[in-house]
Amino acid sequence: MRRILIIILLLLVLTTVGIIGFRLIEGWDWIDCVYYTVVTVTTVGYEIHPLSDEGKLFVTFYLVTCLGIFTYSAFQLGQWVVSAEMRSFWELRRMQKKIDQLDGHYIVCGMGRMGRTICDNLEEQGQPFVVIDTDEERVISLCQSKDWPHIVGDATDDGILQLAAIERAKSLAAVLPTDADNVYVCLTARLMVPELQIVVRASDDKAAAKMRQAGANRVVSPYRQGALKMARFMVSPNVEDFLEIAGKRGQELELVDIQVADDSPYVGKQLTETNLRAMGVMIIGIRRNNGERLMPPPGTAQIESGDCLFAFGSSSAINEMIGNMPE
């Protein structure tokens, strides 16, 4: 930016010198001085008045000076453009290389207030993610300083989702400004990766129904969810405080959900047959592949492949349990 300001200042000084020079040497009125300066600087060379010998010498010197300043300005401007483009090019390559190395990551479509909050939470939990947004200025200002992987583009475009490695992603959150865009992202992502976990924001119940039909696993209505949480705070404040403490990373206690893979050592075992209680982990719920829920599960409940276990315990115990689960 400093180079651009210097170039503008030089051109203003050059024009001013020309106007004043013609005024003092030839004695023309100001309009003619301005006009002759412009046609001289632009090398048009249209003569509106005959020049004196002194005027010819001034024009000769003035043109040589103009040529030097224009050459310098063109060089500086070209260098600035090339350096900016090169920086942008290498930054895009570095970012894409970083995204290409991700696996089991999260994709956040939209960098509004909800998108930023989601990203902050994912970063706090140490989870890998990619941001997609069409606003280049916003993405660069928010993501580059934190080194968040990002893509400037339309999340409804298949090509952009492919750049975000959607085929390897674990989940996608669509929090774009309009319900129509969120529905389209949901539909596109579901067609590209049928098993992808998709969470979408909806402004009302009608939009939420459309998003479920488009393939969303979870639909969040900020106003409805916020109102319900406020009601729970009013009725059971201590329970809500406990859940917030348990849900924060870095606290002594954690509440997490863990997907059971086919080759998990817990598959085929009853809860009482596992070492989870000895590790300090309590299974407070099980969600089966068919949607059946065991809340709370009995000790005789058998763990099956594809189950989602809701585990509660100390951070060290939870990490130990996760370490026993194959990727």
Q: What is the CA radius of gyration of the chain?
A: 33
Identify the band that residue 86 occupies on the pLDDT scale cut at 50, 70 and 90.
low
Question: Looking at the structure, do residues 283 and 255 belong to the same domain, yes or no?
Answer: yes
| pLDDT tens-digit series, residues 161-209 | 999 999 999 999 999 999 999 999 999 999 999 999 999 999 888 888 8
What the block records as the tokens of 294 is: 């065991």
Helices 222-235, 237-247: axis angle to 10 degrees equals 120
Q: Which of 226, 255, 278 is the last residue of a domain?
A: 226
* CA distance linking residue 35 with residue 72, whole number of Å: 24
- Overall pTM > 0.75: no
SS3 state at 273: helix
Distance between CA 129 and CA 304 in Å, rounded? 29
Question: Is a pLDDT exceeding 70 seen at residue 80?
Answer: no
What are the tens digits of pLDDT across the range 230-289?
787 777 676 656 665 555 554 567 778 888 888 888 899 999 998 888 888 899 999 998
What pLDDT is recorded for position 34? 85
CATH at residue 249: 3.30.70.1450
Instruction: Give the range of the structural domain holding residue 15, as residue numbers without chain letter.
Output: 2-96
Dist CA 36 CA 30 (whole Å): 10
Mean of all residue pLDDT scores within the chain = 83
Residue 232 lies in a domain: no
71 and 117 inside one domain: no
Domain boundary (175, 194, 226) is at 226
Q: How many CB atoms lie within 10 A of CB 174?
A: 30
- Specify the 3-state DSSP secondary structure of 176: coil
Q: How many domains does the chain divide into? A: 3
